[in-house]
């Protein structure tokens, strides 16, 4: 289990002075910093988290209703794309597939651009692009104004990419991360809200950098 800022913020909102955490939970540095500053003490419990499939604890709930997620991949990410599409649909999202449609060799920039354009235009709420490593597609997507793409290899990074950076496009590497981990990454990334607060000021600065080069 991952204890993030949003979990501590929820405890603060409820007026708690202690927060029970399983003995093998991971507490992020920012969550610990916030807890110390607010006088909240972590209390270790005997329970142990075996699976990370429990619902994501967030400061707010994100509803999948009416939200469209655009998926894309190159040939190396095709099989994983098919699996992740099914997961997104099971969570209640509407899915659009922008290719590729098979495992014949192709160029990832074409599909990364298609997904990024769908997000930037508002056709899709979020986008997911899979290639071998996830890096190339992330580079392409971040060239499109209005897109904030993050290449994530674990759940912590996925949550951080949403809470701190308000990313709207996720890239994954099919040759880097196993399919089951990718499913958890996607679920966490889709369900985690932007934390706002001091992070909004930083994201606004990212947007300002982008605007300087749009003239």
In this structure, are 89 and 171 located in the same domain? yes
| Higher per-residue confidence, 56 vs 3 | 3
pLDDT at residue number 58: 38
Tell me: do 103 and 165 sit in the same domain: yes
Helix (H, G, I), strand (E, B) or coil at 156: helix
Residues 149 and 72 in one domain: yes
Do 39 and 79 reside in the same domain of the chain? no
So what's the pLDDT on residue 46? 65
What is the value of pTM for the model shown? 0.74
Q: What is the DSSP letter of 207?
A: H
Count up the domains in the chain and report the number. 2
Q: Domain range holding 35?
A: 2-45
Q: Tell me how far apart the alpha carbons of residues 140 and 166 are, in angstroms, rounded to a whole number.
A: 18
Is the per-residue pLDDT at 29 higher than 90?
A: no
Q: Are residues 73 and 18 in the same domain?
A: no
* Cβ 4 vs Cβ 32: under 8 Å: no
pLDDT given for residue 210 in this prediction:
96
Residue 159 half-sphere exposure toward CB, CA atoms < 13 A: 21
Rounded Cα–Cα distance for residues 35 and 18 (Å): 9
Q: Would you say residue 161 lies in a domain?
A: yes
199 occurs within a structural domain: no
Residue 34 lies in a domain: yes
> Given 75, 153, 164, 199, which residue is catalytic?
164
Give the model's confidence band at 30: pLDDT under 50 very low, under 70 low, under 90 confident, else very high: confident
Same domain, 113 and 184: yes
Residue 27 lies in a domain: yes
d(CA 78, CA 122): 24
pLDDT at 33 > cutoff 90: no
Whole-number average pLDDT of the chain = 90
Same-domain check for residues 78 and 29: no
Q: Give the model's pLDDT for residue 23.
A: 64
Model confidence pLDDT, tens digit, residues 158-183: 999 999 999 999 999 999 999 999 99
- Please give the C-alpha separations between residue 94 and each of 56, 66, 74, 98, 100, in angstroms, as whole numbers: 20, 7, 21, 13, 18
pLDDT at 47: 55
Residues 166 and 59: their CA atoms lie apart, in Å, by 14
pLDDT score of 59: 37
- Same domain (yes/no): 85, 170: yes
92 domain-assigned: yes
Among 138, 143, 137, 128, which residue's Cα sits nearest to residue 190? 128
Q: What average pLDDT score do residues 90-114 get? A: 98
Per-residue pLDDT of 48-68, as tens digits, reads 433 333 344 433 456 888 999
Q: What is the CATH number of the domain that holds 106?
A: 3.40.1400.10
Beta strands 169-173 and 126-131, pairing class: parallel
* 79 and 33 fall within a common domain: no
DSSP structure string for 114-152:
HHHHHHHHTS-SEEEEEESSSHHHHHHHTTSTT--EEE-
**Token pair in block for residue 147:** 């897109």
Q: Is residue 91 part of a domain?
A: yes
Confidence of residue 3 (pLDDT cuts 50, 70, 90): confident
Asked if 168 and 119 touch (Cβ cutoff 8 Å), the reply is yes
* 106 vs 37: which has the higher pLDDT: 106
Evaluate if residue 215 carries a pLDDT over 80.
Answer: no
pLDDT of 93 > 70? The answer is yes
Read off the DSSP letter of residue 76: G
Examine the domain organization and report whether 177 and 136 are in the same domain. Answer: yes
Asked if the model's pLDDT at residue 209 lies above 50, the reply is yes
CB 196 within 8 A of CB 204: no
Q: What is the pLDDT of residues 119-171, one digit of tens each?
A: 999 999 999 999 999 999 999 999 999 999 999 999 999 999 999 999 999 99
Verify that 113 and 182 share a domain, yes or no.
yes
How many angstroms separate the Cα of 21 from the Cα of each of 24, 25, 163?
Answer: 8, 6, 20
Q: Is residue 215 part of a domain?
A: no
Check if 164 is active-site. yes
In a domain, 200, yes or no: no
Compute the distance between CA of residue 182 and CA of residue 173 in angstroms, rounded to an integer: 9
User: Residues 108, 169: one domain?
Assistant: yes
């Amino acid at each position: 289990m991952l204890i993030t800022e949003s979990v501590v913020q929820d405890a603060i909102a409820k007026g708690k002075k202690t927060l029970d955490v399983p003995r093998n939970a991971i507490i992020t540095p920012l969550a610990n910093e916030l807890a110390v500053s607010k006088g909240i003490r972590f209390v270790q419990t005997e329970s142990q988290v075996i699976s990370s499939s429990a619902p994501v604890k967030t400061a707010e709930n994100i509803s999948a209703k009416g939200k469209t997620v655009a998926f894309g991949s190159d040939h190396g990410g095709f099989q994983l794309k098919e699996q992740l599409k099914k997961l997104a649909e099971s969570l209640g999202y509407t899915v659009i597939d922008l290719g590729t449609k098979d495992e014949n060799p192709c160029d990832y920039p074409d599909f990364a651009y298609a997904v990024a354009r769908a997000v930037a235009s508002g056709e899709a709420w979020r986008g997911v692009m899979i290639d071998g490593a996830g890096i190339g597609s992330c580079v392409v997507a971040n060239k499109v104004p209005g897109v904030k793409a993050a290449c994530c290899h674990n759940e912590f990074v996925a949550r951080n990419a949403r809470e701190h950076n308000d990313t709207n496009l996720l890239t994954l590497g099919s040759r880097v991360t196993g399919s089951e981990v990718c499913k958890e990454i996607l679920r966490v990334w889709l369900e985690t809200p932007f934390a706002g607060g001091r992070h909004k000021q930083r994201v606004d600065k990212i947007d300002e950098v982008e605007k300087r080069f749009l003239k």
